[in-house]
Amino acid sequence: MTETPQLYLITPPVFDPQAFAPRLAAVLDAHPVACLRLTLATSDETDVTRAADALREVAHARDVPLVITTHLQLVEKLGLDGVHLTDGARSVRKTRKELGADPIVGAFCAASSHEGMTAGEAGADYIAFGPAGDSALGDGTRAGHDLFAWWSEMIELPVVAEGALDTGLIETLAPVVDFFAIGEEIWREDDAPASLSRLTAPLR
């Protein structure tokens, strides 16, 4: 793989849609982003709907597809572009059947190449592995360079690296991934576009 990886943006888990929309717009105007994922900590449908409505307007005005984590029932209802599943390959086939051929279906497969291949066979459009960096969250398992290198050599399906990314990791993984999914890494900074510029400097 020789092409420069693309950017895939993840929302913060908690945000006020009115305040966040202009922050998101500033990042999308400053950087080419291939996809935006709405990932909220809340499971309150009203809150999720408000957030999705605000972000869809910003994303679609810039031709950026918006996918939502887990809530596949909301994809059609809210005019979203697809769903990001977090349970590996388990619900990919059912989701693909329910949504049809066009919507994006992504699958997070932690650090399991087997799970990734199974998800791909079941109809996923991309596979995400992570965390790529060191994180105290989860069980400490990392998706290492070897996994991405093997995948990019053997499998056609696009692969996303996410979780605890830093500039060094982005430089190291750039030759073997298709997308870097970036979220908390930039939203904790006041100037998110500048933060994203620094983080992704190795890609330029």
Please check whether residue 134 lies inside any domain of the structure. Answer: yes
Q: Tell me: the pLDDT tens digits for 75-114?
A: 999 999 999 999 999 999 999 999 999 999 999 999 999 9
pLDDT score of 181 more than 90: yes
Average pLDDT over residues 14-27: 98
pLDDT value at 146 more than 60: yes
Is 147 part of any domain?
A: yes
For position 135, what pLDDT does the model report?
Answer: 86
Average pLDDT over residues 18-28: 98
Model pLDDT for residues 43-74, shown as the tens digit of each residue: 999 999 999 999 999 999 999 999 999 999 99
Token pair for 196 = 């994203």
Max alpha carbon distance in the chain (Å)? 43
| Dihedral Cα 39, 40, 41, 47, nearest 10 deg | -160
Kindly report the average pLDDT of the chain as a whole number: 96
Other beta carbons within 10 angstroms of residue 48's beta carbon come to 18
Q: Domain residues for 180?
A: 6-203
Look at residue 2 and tell me whether its pLDDT is greater than 60: no
Print the SS3 string covering the chain. Answer: CCCCCEEEEECCCCCCHHHHHHHHHHHHHHCCEEEEEECCCCCCHHHHHHHHHHHHHHHHHCCCCEEEECCCHHHHHCCCCEEEECCCCCCHHHHHHHHCCCCEEEEECCCCHHHHHHHHHCCCCEEEECCCCCCCCCCCCCCCHHHHHHHHHHCCCCEEEECCCCHHHHHHHHHHCCEEEECHHHHCCCCHHHHHHHHCHHHC
Question: In which residue are the tokens 């199974």 written?
Answer: 118
Answer yes or no: is 16 within a domain.
yes
Number of domains in the chain: 1
CATH of the domain at 21: 3.20.20.70
- Percent of the chain predicted with pLDDT > 90: 96
Query: Is 1 inside any structural domain?
Result: no
Confidence band, pLDDT 50/70/90 cuts, at residue 139: confident
pLDDT-derived band at 1, boundaries 50, 70, 90: very low
Summarised one tens digit per residue, pLDDT across range 149-166 is 999 999 999 999 999 999
pLDDT band at 21 (very low <50, low <70, confident <90, very high): very high
160 within a domain of the structure (yes/no): yes
The answer to whether position 145 is within a domain reads yes
